[in-house]
Amino acid sequence: MIKLTTDAAFREAVQADGIAVVVFKTTWCADCHYIDPFMPEVEQQYGSQIKFYEIDRDDLPDLCSELNILGIPSFIAFRNGQELIRFVSKLRKTRDEIEQFLDRAVQVADALQKG
């Protein structure tokens, strides 16, 4: 996962033609650390379809406010600078739920491309 530390880096990353998934986390969030062990495998599994980025919410509070990031970890899928879908819940996210979100992001991107 590529760590983004500036507003400009975020905006550049989400402008790509492919799908960019940004994971908003913090160092003190237990649920954020919960996903760390399996995320490298998930990234590898979806690597041909999705680029993964990480933002520490505490590093970019203005951007997170603009994007209405309240719960963490939050997952948002973008393509061409547009938000496709987001996965936000107050509950701990399982690998299966994250994979379902990523599958849905691919489906939405494909549907928009065909439309």
* Burial zone of 105 (CB within 10 Å; 0-12 exposed, 13-18 middle, 19+ buried): buried
Name the DSSP letter for residue 96: H
Residues 6+ apart with CB under 8 A from 57: 24, 25, 26, 64, 69, 72
> Which residues are known catalytic residues?
29, 32
CA dist., res. 38 & res. 59, Å (int): 24
